Amino acid sequence: MVEIRSRTRSAPKEEEGRPIANPTLLKTGAQAEAARTAEAQRQESMRTKRNQPWRVWVPFSGEEEKRTVEFIMLDNSSADCPVFYEHALPDPNNDGKLTLHEVCIKEVEHCPLCEKYGDSYYVQMFSVITLLKKPIVTKDGRTISHSKRLLPVKFPQQEWFKNMSQDTFAGNMRGAHIVTIREESQRSPAIGTPQLCIDEDQKVVQYTEDQLVEGFSHPDILNQQGNVVRKANSDLYPYNYAELFPTPAAEDLRRRFGGVVPAGSSAEVKQAWSNGDSGTATIQRRAAPAADTSKDDYLGDLDDEIPF
């Protein structure tokens, strides 16, 4: 009896003095649903981030040297490099910055992301090797002086790359050495303004295959568990764009980002079936690609140190 009374008396004191939990963290009903959606987006963004290589991005402030990046083209021709519409979305894992990228499906069907976040932009993807100004030493003692990346070129600059590929390099731009400098403006192109690198004899610089091998070949790269996360010499070749940028299903985008099924669409009919009583209809879902940790993982925790 004494024990029970004691417990009864002490309970209110404990609640007043030291809340057991912040009530805003314990969500129910609609709040819980919203929180679940946010968590699903966060997990999806982590998966996407693991799947996506780093992209070339040039800072827009500081001395010119800080606003300069050099890279080597890996694709043979700009004609090999895909163009498509893309969304840059707030990334819950990166303070809401627009670093979460999704393919826009508006060319083939109603795009839930256009509806929720506004229009997408037209982009062409290239594969490059960026030359780091300051080599990075990894935890296991390797020195990294370059990094294979995606180069996202938006519409106004695509003509420059096409001309460079077709005219300057006669359809084979692989190995071309590009220097890009960004203007001191947040609205300037995020990859800077590209120029061809010129040697002392006023000739454009293009690495030969031998020079590419000499500069950028590498053995299998293993993770801490000893699994190959990057096959030998994969830095020498362009990304597999079809693998990196599969066309998402509208239903998949709606599930992850929200949005309503457009009236009269086949998806609406399917949804009506799946909500009906028959219990037999199912919505076809594209299987999500398995998380692939092979790309750039070894640079992941070092990215803040990369000087651009």
Q: Could you tell me the smallest distance in angstroms from the CB atom of residue 120 to Zn ion?
A: 4
Instruction: Name the minimum Å distance from CB 114 to Zn ion.
Output: 3
Q: CB under 8 Å to 61, separation ≥6 — which residues?
A: 67, 184
To Zn ion, the closest distance from the beta carbon of 283 in angstroms equals 20
**Count of residues that interact with Zn ion, criterion CB under 5 A:** 6
The closest of 84, 157, 89 to 121, measured between CA atoms, is 84
- For residue 114, give the nearest of 105, 127, 122, 123 by alpha carbon: 105
Helices 29-51, 250-257: axis angle to 10 degrees equals 120
CB-CB contact of 74 with 128 (8 Å): yes
Residue 165, phi then psi, degrees to nearest 5: -65, -50
Query: Rule CB under 5 A: is residue 113 a binding residue for Zn ion?
Result: yes
Report the alpha-carbon distance of residue 249 to residue 253 in Å, rounded. Answer: 6
Please report how close the Cβ of residue 130 comes to Zn ion at its closest, in angstroms.
29
Kindly state whether residue 249 participates in binding Zn ion, applying the rule CB under 5 A: no
Decide if residue 106 touches Zn ion (CB under 5 A). yes
From 19-27, 38-46, 112-120, 222-230, give the range in contact with Zn ion by CB under 5 A: 112-120
Quick check: helix, strand or coil at residue 122? strand
Q: Would you give the DSSP letter of residue 132? A: E
Mark the segment that binds Zn ion (CB under 5 A) among 25-33, 103-111, 130-138, 190-198: 103-111
Region from 89-97, 119-127, 223-231, 278-286 binding Zn ion, contact rule CB under 5 A: 119-127
Q: Is 120 in the site for Zn ion (CB under 5 A)?
A: yes
Kindly state the smallest distance separating residue 116's Cβ from Zn ion, in Å. 9
Q: Which residues bind Zn ion (CB under 5 A)?
A: 104, 106, 111, 113-114, 120
